[in-house]
Amino acid sequence: MKIYPAIDLRDGKVVRLVEGDYDRMTVYGDDPVSTAKGFADAGARYLHLVDLDGAKDGALVNFDTIKKIIESTDMFVEVGGGIRDEERIKQYLEAGVGRVILGSAAVEDRDFLEKSVAKYGEKIAVGVDAKDGKVAIHGWKTVTDEDSFEFCRYLEKIGVSAVIYTDIAKDGGLGGTNITAYKKLSEVCGLDVTASGGITYISEIEELRGVTYAAILGKALYTGALDLGEAIEKSGEEQ
């Protein structure tokens, strides 16, 4: 299982939200490049970046920061947040991003999603954010009637290879993740599923190993609840 430490960017700073709420934001640093280098020094080979400004209003204010992170490390970088057209996809891929994550656009514009997957293949992942089993969009403010597991089945059918699945209720709460959901996902589809939201304990890393393709670690790293080096070791990630 791969370990993706996470950096959420807002106004060029490293931040974390609780349950996606911009009013419940904590700033953990003002140098994202240094944070990324620290993750790399701890053994990380993968990095999950979220452009919160892009997710909120489509602004591309963090693009230069993302480019610097890519240029300053050898990590495989995936980026999400406000990617709603092919031009943004191309901008990121040309900057060296390994994979872009489509969120709300994947739910609302199936034609765009399917064309993107057909053209860019494994360089497209989809973020599936679930609230009470339903897909949520627009910064988690709008909960649709779409069943999150059925949506994942659809994604597999159209050729999506990777999904980042987040249980919103668990995100940023340091109360543990939704292991049950990931076990169910592993049974219902053949996607590479990344577990995201609330992973707090080493025991969860061990339990997710063999169940999910990858795990994203966020707030637990910033608060010291998890040690990145130990998490990578316990994940069984090939070095």
Question: Which are the catalytic amino acids?
Answer: 8, 129
CA terminus-to-terminus distance, the chain: 11
CA-CA distance, 165 to 129, in Å (whole number)?
6
Quick one: which H or E segment has residue 115? helix 110-120
- 195 token code pair: 């577990």
On the CB side of 171, CA atoms within 13 Å amount to 24
The residue type of 24 is: R
- 193 token code pair: 């599923």
107-120 core/surface letters (b: 16 or more CB in 10 A; e: else)? beeeebbeebbeee
